[in-house]
Amino acid sequence: MVSKFTTRYSYGGDEFLFVELSEEMSLDVNFRAMAITKKLKEKNNPHIMDICPSNASYMVRYNPDELHADELIDELKQLEDSVKNLDDIVINSRLVDVPVLFEDPWTHEAVMRFRDRHQDPESTDLEYAARINGYDSKEDFIKAVTDSPFLVSMIGFVPGLPFCFQIVPKEEQLEVPKYVRPRTYTPERCFGFGGGFSVIYPVQGAGGYQMFGIAATPVFDKEQQLPDFQDSMVFPRQGDIFRYRSVSRDEYDAVREEVEAGTFEYLKQDFTFQPGDVLEDSHAFSQKVLRRLYND
């Protein structure tokens, strides 16, 4: 369903345009943002310096000496009109297995250190998230997280951090608030959740998302030593599909040994799809993704 929200075009100083497609994130809106920015990039306009797609918006940096903002807005409106039904949009993606150790000791230590900044100081982040989402146990909540894959909807906040939106019907979306006050510490590779988005924190730092566990695998490699990072120090790409898989401490340790040895490679599959494949039946699409990722 196309949102009734009227797209907002906002000037950002002399060089930027901010385009908000919707006030609410949805898979449909994110696919349209991807499609518009992809088509804009393909035009290869020499006066456009940078394109930054987001969850339900995007930003364009342009040369105001060569291109008037209003001319750019006209062009962007035409691109938006051209992708309203998404029928001719093809997304080149990767299916990626991401092993996560839930309730790991390092994240748990951070969880307990900052209870004074949390909505419910008497419970852990996982217990709180399970309860407010209507699950009887944290184990049931973890199953809901891991049963269906997530679309990488944008990269941002800090370099390499993937914002991921689960591929399920809207009524099944998991949602949790951020901490009442931000933390001063979040472990590297922490698997977090805020609003309707999962994230992996690429480096140690501040944060405000609920903390559920830790990914065994990096999403950021400054030195580009691992095979998956030869082309970029950032692994995730917008349009990727991540399946978060719960692992034991033994498997987590084994993966970490491979990472430290410089030999680890993600289990992944190249994958091409159209937005309609997702929007028409997200459950069927998710099952197709899981079969392709683990059975090929």
| Domain membership of residue 78 as a residue range | 8-87
In this structure, the number of other CB atoms found within 10 A of the CB of residue 206 comes to 11
Any idea which residue has 């093809």 for tokens? 90
The verdict on 65 and 98 lying in the same domain is: no
Predicted confidence (pLDDT) at residue 102 exceeds the cutoff of 80: yes
| Residues 153-167, mean pLDDT to the nearest whole number | 93
Predicted confidence (pLDDT) at residue 192 exceeds the cutoff of 90: yes
What pLDDT was estimated at residue 4?
A: 66
The verdict on 38 and 175 lying in the same domain is: no
- Does residue 49 lie in a domain region? yes
What pLDDT was estimated at residue 88?
A: 84
The verdict on 165 and 187 lying in the same domain is: yes
The verdict on 173 and 243 lying in the same domain is: yes
| Residues 152-156, mean pLDDT to the nearest whole number | 94
Strand partners, 92: 272
| Residues 54-73, mean pLDDT to the nearest whole number | 96
DSSP state, 220? B
Chosen domain end from 87, 120, 143: 87
Do residues 252 and 104 lie in contact, with contact meaning Cβ atoms separated by under 8 Å?
A: yes
The verdict on 57 and 127 lying in the same domain is: no
Chosen domain end from 87, 112, 135: 87
Predicted confidence (pLDDT) at residue 1 exceeds the cutoff of 50: no
Strand partners, 48: 62
Q: The CATH number of the domain where 255 resides is what?
A: 2.40.100.10
Cα–Cα distance measured from residue 51 to residue 35, given in angstroms and rounded to the nearest whole number: 12
| Residues 69-96, mean pLDDT to the nearest whole number | 93
Do residues 61 and 207 lie in contact, with contact meaning Cβ atoms separated by under 8 Å?
A: no
The verdict on 196 and 278 lying in the same domain is: yes
What pLDDT was estimated at residue 50?
A: 96
The verdict on 173 and 279 lying in the same domain is: yes
Helices (H), 103-232: 105-113, 125-132, 138-147
The verdict on 107 and 40 lying in the same domain is: no
